[in-house]
Amino acid sequence: RRLAVRSHSDLSCLVEDSRTGGGSGIRDWAERLGYATFPLRAPLREVAAELPSTGNCLITAGNGFWNPADEDYPAGDWTSVEKWLRAGNTLIVVTSNPKTLPEPITRLFTSDVPRSTADDSLPPTIESSAKRLTTAAAEERASAPTWWGGAMSVATHGPRLNNLPEELRLAGSDTASVLAGRPLGEGMVYLLLDEHAWTNAGFDRADNAATLARVLQHGIRDDGVLAFDEYRHGYGRVESFTTLFLSLPGAKDFAAMALAWGLFWLWGSTRRLYPADEYRETERHTAMEYIESVAAMNQRARAAPLVVGAVLERVRYLFQKRGILQNSATAVFDSAARHVQSAERPAAPNHEIELVSNILQLKQQFYGTRRDPRAQ
């Protein structure tokens, strides 16, 4: 019994992607058949430089835009691709989202095509609504008859090519074609509107591999290779600093973790984890309060003699400098000096306060009020 494939990835056909949307199975299958494979990691407009010889086949698969840096496919790029195709090469386009197809590809299969039907028939269109083919055993799979009598296994619901001329129809019916081919000079352009048939998800179902084998048998000649367009999925040339960063090993995981931590920090910085602290305004103190606090500290330390000695030495130095030392001042200074020498530290410094007051009065009387002769 067939095991269900659960590893999902977007449609890409990358040769190193072994998940459902990858192309590692197609690469291994092609190499066993003797075809050389090549991952194209350059813009599609440079395909002629990457695969210069003829007889090459290029698969470009995806539901995103063809240009990774811009949604619009430049019209000038298709000119070089068309020249490469007309020289004898093959392009296989695989998608399930026709809206992302470049305008030149859409025009090849929806307008200006050779029709064998009557002139009043409807023009070919790409129908985006669901179209049912012959339903297979699995409800999500359908059987699309091929041009050589086989049947492809494709998604039941998906876009289809409607009213397509018989000569362009390769798989499906006239009202619901899933695979079409259009000659372009010496080359061919194939369009597959399914994301399972030629990927790891469904390549081994029905005649999917056999149909691709017939396409490659006519598309690859001489020394041609089977190339896979990987540039459109971000592999190859670095176009910006962001592309360079994301190409580093583990860069995407690191960016995801950084984003998660950033969102967590942003969430945490806007939420309070504990009650707010009560704001208490600090009371400001005046200069008098500072003086009183220092005085109280000195009083508790019984440092009154030290204060007297400091004041005495300062005032005596000022008097000696000015030469105004008199008997009254000498008596006050001697009394203060004897007290300092006694080194007594009383609990109530009343006498020391009196000595300091007398010394400051002498300073105010003889030093503070004396005028400088030079100022006259």
- What's residue 373's pLDDT? 46
- Nearest partner of 63 among 128, 124, 112, 108, judged by Cα: 128
Helix (H) or strand (E) holding 339: helix 327-342
Average pLDDT, integer, range 348-358: 80
CA distance 42 to 38: 12
- pLDDT over 70 for what percent of the chain? 81
Collapsing DSSP states into helix, strand and coil, what is residue 151?
Answer: strand
Task: Average the pLDDT over 54-60 and give the result.
Answer: 95
The pLDDT of 244-251, averaged and rounded, is: 75
Instruction: Say if residues 73 and 103 touch (Cβ distance below 8 Å).
Output: yes
- Flag whether pLDDT at 238 surpasses 80: no
Share the mean pLDDT of the chain: 81
Indicate the length of the chain as a whole number.
376
pTM score, whole prediction: 0.60
Question: Is the pLDDT higher at 302 or at 132?
Answer: 302
C-alpha to C-alpha distance for 246 and 129, rounded to whole angstroms: 36
Q: 341-362: buried (b, 16+ CB within 10 Å) or exposed (e) per residue?
A: eeeeeeeebeebeebbebbeeb
Residue of 168, 201, 4 lying closest to 209 (CA atoms): 201
The pLDDT of 296-307, averaged and rounded, is: 73
Report the pLDDT averaged over residues 112-134: 49
More confident residue, 328 or 210: 210
* Dihedral, CA of residue 33, residue 39, residue 42 and residue 47, to nearest 10: 0
User: pLDDT at residue 8 above 90?
Assistant: no
> How do residues 179-191 score in pLDDT, each as one tens digit?
999 999 999 999 9
Q: What is the mean pLDDT of residues 129-155?
A: 70
